[in-house]
Structure 1
Amino acid sequence: MTTTPRALAAPRHTALGRLVADPPGFAAQLPGEPRLRRAAGDFSDLFGLAEVDGLLTDRALRRPAFRVIRDGEQVPDVSCLHGGLLYPDVADPRKISGLLAEGATLVFQGLQELTGPLAEFGRRLGHDLGRPVNVNAYVTPAGSQGFGDHYDTQDSFIVQIHGSKRWTLKDPALAQPLSHETGRPLPEDDGPGRTLTLESGDCLWLPRGWVHSARSTDTASVHLTISLYEWTGHWAWTRIAARAPGLPGRFPLSTDFFRDRAAAEKDMAALRTELMQWLATADDSALVDVVRAAGAPEFLSPVRHPAGQVLAPEADEDAEYTVNAHAVLNAETRGDRLVLTLGARGLTLPASMTPLLADLLDRDRFRLRDLPPTPGTTALLTRLCTEGVITRTP
């Protein structure tokens, strides 16, 4: 029988608490309407103008980590790429500066994989909400607009970093759209919508499907869009259909499927019958394992520090460690094993280590001398340190 040690998996809402006023309530039921939190906090530790310049000038940023938008369309590569380096798809800071001066919007994509602070924030928020996150940054000159009215198929937090931006929100054109339901035509006469201006430090929750557009005010704007992966029942079913063993529907469709509607409908009736019979007897726990195995790799795994592990001095009683509890997406005891999910990676330990691990993950920091004398402690710490669940404090 599989059980879940609550102490190992419970989120602390360390990231979500920076975005919303009631983290536990918000996580329990994601709101279906936009919510604005004024003066949520100072997010300059995550991103800012210095990071914009650093990404363009110090990182040799390559496609698809950035794009430039003008009048709702992506600027052609020749207008923003360097072209003279080893890699032909590197951002050209000079060209992009010229485009920004003309009112274009610069978009950084997948920042949770590029910058340390946002990567850490993304791991924590993913743990808080049980959803992988993607972070984009939008740099818009004063009085400019990157995109017109549109909707997204992912729930998002909009975090204003610098300057201000005026947003127009309209009711969803399609309720809870799925990932393949993008680009649906918007109503021609849907009214002016409601407007609000985000100032530095504000945070807007924007559920999927809500039609929106944004224009910077008389100052340049930098904002983050922190999107949650669209994990729905539909998403889970597509993973089950692609991965579950013993699925029905293995019979070949009729050779007259496209010529004879009656033959096609007979095939669909047979498939529907098989699916209903399979679902009626399917084991829910086994389906959970299938979907989790498909989704866990989408989470950011904890950071490993190979050089630090190889070159660091041996631990002693005074060595201090930082605990990255958010690195543990899930922990379950299965017989005599304790199985940890660390995003794309997993870690299997003896089930006898469960009390010690629960004690560790309930701490922020610890020293070896603080831990109870338990057999296997040194080996456990070595494994956890290797996997990035704990890190030695400099």
Structure 2
Amino acid sequence: MHEEPRPETSVPGAAPRALSRLVGMPAADFASDVWSRAPLLTRSSDLPRDFTDLFSEAAVDELVAHRGLRTPFARMAKDGRTLPDRSFTLGGGVGAGISDQLSDDRVLHEFASGATLVLQALHRTWAPIQEFSAEVAAALGHPVQVNAYVTPPQSQGFADHYDVHDVFVLQIAGEKRWRVRPPVLDAPLRDQPWEQHRAAVEQAATAEPLLEATLSPGDCLYLPRGYLHAATALGGTSIHLTFGVHTWTRRHLVDALLARVGDRLKDDVEARRSLPLRPSTSPAAQVSFDDDAEVVRSLVAKALQDIGVDELVDALRPGVRASARAEPLAVLAQARRADDDVTVWRVRRGLAAHWEDNGGRATLVTRVGRLPVQGDERDAVTDLLAGIRDPAGLDSELRRRLALAGMIVPADVNGG
């Protein structure tokens, strides 16, 4: 048996504020009027502040020269073509001989020759973006990935294309000229990349743009998935972030529903019946399966009627849980303070918690693991997750177990 997850404790109002910081309007208005419908360009003058707290030129240099980044956390492209990894990577010397680490010298050479540097998955590797992207994801209800695109002057890294995820483009430094055109395929899925429609994309790219604008530092452009786009850096080096929103779609519900139907029909003897013999040497081998197909349609229709929303939630939950991580924690501080009596604790953000009941035994399941609890502890933990109970009011042994399981963290420690 599964129960719906309780609301997670978070910084009050942080998620809606994070989205409003990108679109210059209340989150509810964006959801009802813009989301997945049309591009939206918001100038820095209409936003509460710029994005220099999230990323900068200095951050690029830090990541390239001092973090030992490896592919696929970085790639480079020039004139619409992705460069081979060996052109910008190298081994790290004694004790770090892995050959796919970024080489600052090789990156410099390719960049000076006009190549764009793409730093991928910054929601995992750069602390300010970790926190902000988690707030954006919480506001949207969809997982978010963040990349940085660093383009030399007068260069274009990628030709006209579309993405299979929604994108927020945050201009950090320099200026970039964007050209946006209508989709050749509305709302493409993850397995429908633009390369499958290359000819249509190339043809559409010759039409007048739907939107053509220069993004300056602090501007933000929202593009629903499917919209064609290309961009060219202007007078100086351009740095922009893309917050790629990996949207949950109705297709996910379809897949979950059909998987549940298949599971249910395993228990139906009629679905397990063998198909009639049709020897390959007999003309009867060409006989259609109409009768069996009709039986299957009937069985599927009945199973569909019996599947409730709760079952769909259960079917989607593993994917939702795997789509992101909980907020970072400070490992050494966590281990040291789990046993003390003075630390002020809070619920860790991004747990995606829910309960499982197995034979009367309750288990709290989260993104960071599973924690069995006693019957008399469940109500206390449920209230904790709902923000009704403070961790200070928990039994000390239960609080210690929650701390060592990574489900509560010190309120004064930033794991990012």
State the TM-score bracket (shorter-chain normalisation).
0.7 to 0.9
1:27-66 aligned at under 5 Å gives the runs 27=31, 30-39=35-44, 40=47, 41-66=49-74
Aligned equivalents of 2:320, 2:391: Cα separation in 1: 35
The alignment status of 1:303 with 2:303, answered yes or no, reads no
Q: Which moved more, 1:141-150 or 1:303-312?
A: 303-312
Q: Which moved more, 1:170-179 or 1:330-339?
A: 330-339
Q: Secondary structure at the match of 1:150?
A: coil
Write the deviation string for residues 307-330 of structure 1: whole angstroms up to 9, x where unpaired: 21223485445x445x46642435
> Which of 118, 122, 127 pairs up with 1:107?
118
Superposition deviation, residue 54 in structure 1: 1.2
Q: Which moved more, 1:299-308 or 1:281-290?
A: 299-308
Superposition deviation, residue 44 in structure 1: 1.9
Superposition deviation, residue 102 in structure 1: 1.2
Q: Which moved more, 1:204-213 or 1:277-286?
A: 277-286
The alignment status of 1:131 with 2:142, answered yes or no, reads yes
Q: Which moved more, 1:374-383 or 1:78-87?
A: 374-383
The alignment status of 1:213 with 2:266, answered yes or no, reads no
Superposition deviation, residue 359 in structure 1: 3.6
State the partner residue of 1:379.
398
**What TM-score, normalized by structure 1, do the two folds share?**
0.83
Pick closer, same or farther for the CA change 1:331–1:11 going to 2, 3 Å. Answer: farther
**What TM-score, normalized by structure 2, do the two folds share?**
0.79
Aligned residues: percent identity?
30
1:144-155 aligned at under 5 Å gives the runs 144-155=155-166
Aligned equivalents of 1:256, 1:128: Cα separation in 2: 59
State the partner residue of 2:78.
70
Aligned equivalents of 2:26, 2:404: Cα separation in 1: 33
> Which of 2, 6, 26 pairs up with 1:22?
26
State the partner residue of 1:289.
314
Cα pair 2:155 2:233 within 8 Å, conserved: yes
- Match for 1:217: what amino acid? L
Aligned equivalents of 2:179, 2:38: Cα separation in 1: 14
Q: Secondary structure at the match of 1:380?
A: helix
Aligned equivalents of 1:100, 1:253: Cα separation in 2: 62
Q: Which moved more, 1:335-344 or 1:70-79?
A: 335-344
> Which of 133, 138, 163 pairs up with 2:174?
163
Consecutive unaligned residues in structure 1, runs of 5 or more:
362-370
State the partner residue of 2:207.
191
- Match for 2:133: what amino acid? G
Kindly report the root-mean-square deviation, in angstroms, between the aligned alpha carbons of the 2 structures: 3.6
Cα pair 1:304 1:388 within 8 Å, conserved: no
- Match for 1:74: what amino acid? T
Q: Secondary structure at the match of 2:90?
A: coil
Equivalent residues, number: 382
Aligned equivalents of 1:372, 1:87: Cα separation in 2: 44
Aligned equivalents of 2:5, 2:91: Cα separation in 1: 53
State the partner residue of 2:367.
343
Cα pair 1:178 1:230 within 8 Å, conserved: no
Question: Of the two, which has the highest radius of gyration?
Answer: 2
Aligned equivalents of 1:324, 1:38: Cα separation in 2: 36
The alignment status of 1:224 with 2:252, answered yes or no, reads no
1:345-364 aligned at under 5 Å gives the runs 345=369, 350-359=378-387
- Match for 1:327: what amino acid? G
Pick closer, same or farther for the CA change 1:205–1:337 going to 2, 3 Å. Answer: farther
Superposition deviation, residue 293 in structure 1: 2.2
- Match for 1:108: what amino acid? L
